[in-house]
Every structure is written in structure tokens, then in C-alpha cells.
């Protein structure tokens, strides 16, 4: 069974508590459980990783190239300035889908720039936790 890795970056461990009007009421654990169920129905197995550290996110992306068919990545604020995460995505051959809970284009100016978007297969933003489920559908289509 193909494995999909779902990576969440900084501050996303606080989902449910953190700015619920922007990011919703559900915890990351609850969201991951929904992703896992949906992935099963699409014939995927899932692995989940969250870190607040840029280096740990990069290490996990590198590892994913060995045993994952694709990655769903919410890089949090690193999206907007981490050339190191961008290079890690470029370095691996598996498709990476960029996701955001909020509609980053409708918010502050700095959120309108994604330095990772050009090296991701595609980007999904603004659908709350459903963004991750749309990304799963996209991977089903791609793989
Ligand atoms: C986010 C959007 C980012 O701008 C922000 O820094 C986050 C969450 C989102 O999922 O909407 O941490 O990636």
C-alpha cells in the first residue's frame, strides 16, 4: 500500500487552541484522524509528523524519499521564507502538495509569498482541515 506522509510545521501542534477563528476548533490529532480515515478509503496508508524546527522538517522530508509515495506539507510560516525547506522539496523526487488551512492570499502581505510553491506539485489553501483531504485526492489522481 502506498504511504503518504503528512507534515505539519511550526505552531500547528496548537491547532484547536491557536486562533480558532482562523484555523478552526479541531486539534491536530483530530484532523490527523480524519486524514487517516480518508486515506484508507483511497487505499493509502499514512504517517504523520509535526515539528516546530526547520531542520527536523528538512530531515523528515529527506527520509520520506525512501519509503513514501507522496507528501502533504503545511510548512506554517516557513512557507513564506524558508529556502532550506524549498531546497529539501527540490531534492526529493516524490510529489509534495503544499496545504494551508487558511486562505493565505486573503491575509497579511507576507503570507501572499510562498517560496515553496514553485517546487511543489500544487498548492491548496483556504479550506480549513478539508485542505488536507483535497490534497489526498490530488495525490490519488497523481499516483
Ligand atoms: C498556515 C498559514 C501560515 O501563514 C501560518 O504561518 C501558519 C498556518 C495555514 O495553514 O493557514 O502557521 O500555514
SS3 track for 45-63 = EEEEEECCCHHHHHHHHHH
CATH code assigned at 94: 3.40.50.9100
- DSSP state for residue 129 in the 8-state scheme: T
pLDDT at 10: 98
Q: Tell me what the pLDDT averaged over the chain comes to.
A: 98
What pLDDT, in 10s, does the model give residues 39-78?
999 999 999 999 999 999 999 999 999 999 999 999 999 9
Residue 75 sits at φ, ψ, to 5 deg, of: -85, 5
pLDDT of residue 53: 98
By most ligand atoms within 8 Å of CB, the mutation choice from 79, 117, 127, 130 for ligand 1 is 79
Instruction: Verify whether residue 23 is a known catalytic residue.
Output: yes
Query: Active-site residue among 78, 100, 130, 132?
Result: 100
Residues 71, 131: contact at Cβ < 8 Å? no
- 122-125 sheet: strands from edge to edge: 44-50, 2-8, 70-74, 96-100, 122-125
Residue 1 CA to ligand 1 centre (angstroms):
30
Which domain covers residue 59, as residue numbers? Answer: 2-142
The predicted structure's pLDDT at residue 77: 98
Q: What is the pLDDT of residue 100?
A: 98
Ligand 1 atom at minimal distance to the Cα of residue 110: 4
Question: How many domains does the chain fold into?
Answer: 1
Residue partners of 127: CB distance under 8 A and separation at least 6? 101, 134
Pairing of strands 70-74, 2-8: parallel
**Cβ–Cβ < 8 Å for 72, 95:** no
Compute, in angstroms, the gap from residue 50 CA to the centroid of ligand 1: 13
Quick check: is 100 catalytic? yes
pLDDT tens-place string over residues 81-134: 999 999 999 999 999 999 999 999 999 999 999 999 999 999 999 999 999 999
Atom of ligand 1 nearest to the CA of 11: 12
Amino acid at each position: 500500500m502506498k504511504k503518504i506522509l503528512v507534515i505539519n510545521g511550526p505552531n500547528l501542534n496548537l491547532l484547536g487552541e491557536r486562533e480558532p477563528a482562523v484555523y478552526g476548533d479541531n486539534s491536530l490529532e483530530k484532523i490527523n484522524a480524519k486524514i487517516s480515515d480518508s486515506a484508507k478509503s483511497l487505499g493509502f496508508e499514512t504517517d504523520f509528523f509535526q515539528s516546530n524546527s526547520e531542520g527536523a522538517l528538512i530531515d523528515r522530508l529527506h527520509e520520506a524519499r525512501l519509503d513514501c509515495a507522496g507528501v502533504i506539507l503545511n510548512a506554517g510560516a516557513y512557507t513564506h521564507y524558508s529556502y532550506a525547506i524549498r531546497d529539501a522539496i527540490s531534492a526529493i523526487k516524490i510529489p509534495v502538495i503544499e496545504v494551508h488551512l487558511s486562505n493565505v492570499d486573503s491575509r497579511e502581505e507576507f503570507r501572499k509569498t510562498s517560496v515553496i510553491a514553485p517546487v511543489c506539485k500544487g498548492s491548496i489553501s483556504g479550506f480549513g482541515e478539508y485542505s488536507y483531504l483535497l490534497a489526498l485526492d490530488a495525490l490519488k489522481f497523481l499516483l
